Amino acid sequence: MLSYALRRLAFALPTLLTISVVVFALMALAPGDPMAQLPLTIPAEVRAEMRSALGLDAPLHQRYGMWLWQMVVIEPRVAIEALLGIEGNDATRILSWQTRGPVFQLIAQRLPQTLTVLGLAYVLGIAIALPLGIWSAYRHNSAFDRVANGIALLGVAVPPFFSAAILIYIFAIRLDWVPSIYDTTLAVTDWSSAWAQVRQMALPVVVLSLQTTAQITRYMRAAMLDALGQDYIRAARAKGLSERAVLIGQAARNSMIPVVSVIALGVPQIFAGAIITEQVFGVNGIGQLLITSLQANDLPTVQTITMLLAVLIVLANLVADLAYGLLDPRVRYE
C-alpha cells in the first residue's frame, strides 16, 4: 500500500503543477492593479519602487517561478524551522499585497477558526448521515424513509446562504437563542465562556452539516438499497445471522465503498461552502480571508489559498483510494 500511495503522489505532481500554472495565469491576467488603492498623492517614482518591491515589474514566467519556489521550498522550510524552534533565515516569503505580511502567517491565524467550525460540522454531518441512510434503506418506502428522503432532498436543494438566513431569522432574531454573528475574539476560560462558544458555533455548524448530511444520506441510502438486494444478503439471512449482523456487518460495510469517495471528496466541498457561511456569520476564517483578498485584489493570497485547496482535493482522492483496500478485500495495491 505504501508503494501505491507513493506512486499516486508521483502521478499527482504533474496535476498539481498544471493547476498551479492555470491558477497563476488566471490571477495574473485578471483586471486590476494593487497600486490602484493607494492615494493619488504618491509620486510616480515611489509607485514604481513599490511595484518593484512586490515583483510586479518582472516578466510573468519569472514571477510564476518565484511563487512556485516559495510555495514548494521556502514556506515548508519556514514552517519546519518554526516547529523545531530554529531561527529562520531572511528568505523572501509569499507576501500579501493587502497587509504586506507573509500569506501563510495570515492563513495560520485564520485556520483554527475555520477548522473548528468545519471539523465539527463535517463530523456531525457524517455521524448523522450514515445511520440515517442505513435505516432509511432498511425501512424502504416507510414513513421514516419518506421523511428522511424529503429532508435530504431539501438539504441538497437549499443553498447554504439561504438556510443560514432562515436559521438566523428563526433562532437568532425571533427566538434569541443564539447570536447571529460569530465573535472570533471570544476566549474560552470558564464554563460561561465555553457555553458562549457553543452557542455562537451552533448556527454555522448546523448550516454546514445540513448539506453534508443530506448528500451523504442520499448516497448511503442508494448504496444500501443496492446491497440489500444482493444474493449474499439472502445467503447471510439463510444461515441464521441476526438482522443486526446482516445490516451492519454485511450490507453496511459493502455499501461504504462508494460512500467513501463522497466523504473524502466532501472535505474540499465543505471548505467551499465555508466561504459563503463565514461571510454570513462573520467567522474570521479562511473563507472570509479569500473574499476580502479578492475584493482587495490581493493576488498572492488568492493564489495561495486556491492552490492549497487543490492540494487538499488531490490528497482527498488519495485517501479515498487507500480506504477502498480497507473496506473491500478484493482491492489490492500492487
Going by C-alpha positions, the residue among 317, 289, 266, 286 that lies closest to residue 126 is 266
The whole-model pTM stands at: 0.79
At position 37, the amino acid (one-letter code) is Q
pLDDT per residue as tens digits for the range 195-243? 888 888 888 889 888 888 888 998 999 989 888 888 888 888 888 888 8
**The CATH homologous superfamily of the domain defined by 111-296:** MetI-like (1.10.3720.10)
- φ/ψ of 109, rounded to 5, equals -70, -35
Query: Which of 77-81, 132-136, 225-229, 326-330 is the least confident region?
Result: 326-330
pLDDT per residue as tens digits for the range 21-39? 988 888 877 776 666 666 6
Q: What is the mean pLDDT of the chain?
A: 83
Residue-range domain boundaries for the chain: 2-84, 111-296
- φ/ψ of 38, rounded to 5, equals -75, 155
Q: How confident is the model at residue 331 (pLDDT cuts 50, 70, 90)?
A: low
3-state secondary structure of 330: coil
> Is the separation of the CB atoms in 159 and 244 below 8 Å?
no
The C-alpha atoms of residue 296 and residue 318 are separated, in whole angstroms, by: 35
116, containing H or E segment: helix 103-138
